[in-house]
A and B are shown apart, each in its own frame.
Chain A
Amino acid sequence: MNARPRANGAADVMLDVKNLRAYYVMQYFGTQREVRAVDDISLQVGRNEIYGLAGESSSGKTTFIKTIAAAIRPPLTVIGGSIRYSFLDRDIYKLDRVALSAIRWRYLSYIPQGSMNVLNPVRRVRESFIDFALPHMGLPKQQFFAAIIAHLERLQLTPGVLDAYPHELSGGMRQRIAIALATVCRPDFIIADEPTTALDVVVQKSVLELIREAQREIGSSMIFVTHDMAVHANISDRLGIMYAGRLVEEAPTAEIFRSPKHPYTQHLIASLPRIGDLSAKRALTGAPPSLAEPPSGCRFHPRCPLAMDICRETHPELVSIDPRHRVACHAVSPAVGPDRVFAAAAKQRTGLVQ
Chain B
Amino acid sequence: MMKTVRDLFRYNLEFALGAILILIVFGFAAASFFSPYPPMDSYVVAPDVPPSWAYPFGTNSRGQDVFWQLTLAIRNSLLFGLSVALMSRILSLLIGLVAGYAGGITDRILMTINDTFVVIPLFPILVLFFFMMRDNMSWPMLAVAMASLGWPYDARLIRSVALSLRTREFTAMSVFSGMSTRQILVEEHLPYVLPIVFSTTLNNMNWSIGLEVTLSVIGFTNIETPTIGTMIYWANQHTAMVAGVWWWILFPVVLVIMTFLGLYLLSVSMNEYIDPRSRLTRMGGQA
- Mark A residues whose CB is within 8 Å of B: 24, 26, 28-30, 33, 35, 37, 58, 290-292
CB of A35 within 8 A of CB of B282, answer no
Interfacial chain B residues near A37, Cβ < 8 Å: 286
User: Which residues 241-287 of B sit at the A interface, judged by CB distance below 8 A?
Assistant: 278, 281-282, 284, 286
Interfacial chain A residues near B282, Cβ < 8 Å: 28-29
B34 contacts the other chain (CB 8 A): no
CB of B286 within 8 A of CB of A35, answer yes
Report 18 cross-chain contacts, Cβ distance below 8 Å, ordered by A residue. Answer: A24-B286, A26-B281, A28-B11, A28-B281, A29-B7, A29-B11, A29-B12, A30-B7, A30-B10, A30-B11, A33-B284, A35-B284, A35-B286, A37-B286, A58-B286, A290-B284, A291-B286, A292-B284
Interfacial chain B residues near A30, Cβ < 8 Å: 7, 10-11
- Mark B residues whose CB is within 8 Å of A: 7, 10-12, 278, 281-282, 284, 286
Distance in Å: Cβ of A292 to nearest Cβ of chain B = 5
Interfacial chain B residues near A29, Cβ < 8 Å: 7, 10-12, 282
Interfacial chain B residues near A58, Cβ < 8 Å: 286
Please name 13 further chain A to chain B contacts, defined as beta carbons within 8 Å, in addition to the given A33-B284, A290-B284, sorted by A numbering. Answer: A28-B11, A28-B278, A28-B281, A28-B282, A29-B10, A29-B11, A29-B282, A30-B7, A30-B11, A35-B284, A37-B286, A58-B286, A291-B286
Interfacial chain B residues near A292, Cβ < 8 Å: 284
A-B interface, 6 closest residue pairs, ranked by CB to CB distance from nearest: A28-B282, A29-B11, A29-B7, A292-B284, A30-B11, A33-B284
Interfacial chain A residues near B286, Cβ < 8 Å: 24, 35, 37, 58, 291
Interfacial chain A residues near B11, Cβ < 8 Å: 28-30
Distance in Å: Cβ of B260 to nearest Cβ of chain A = 27
| Cα-based distance from A24 to B281 in the complex (angstroms) | 11
| Cα-based distance from A20 to B284 in the complex (angstroms) | 23
Interfacial chain A residues near B7, Cβ < 8 Å: 29-30
Distance in Å: Cβ of B14 to nearest Cβ of chain A = 13
| Of listed A24, A28, A37, A58, residue having the most chain B CB within 10 A | A28
Distance in Å: Cβ of A26 to nearest Cβ of chain B = 6
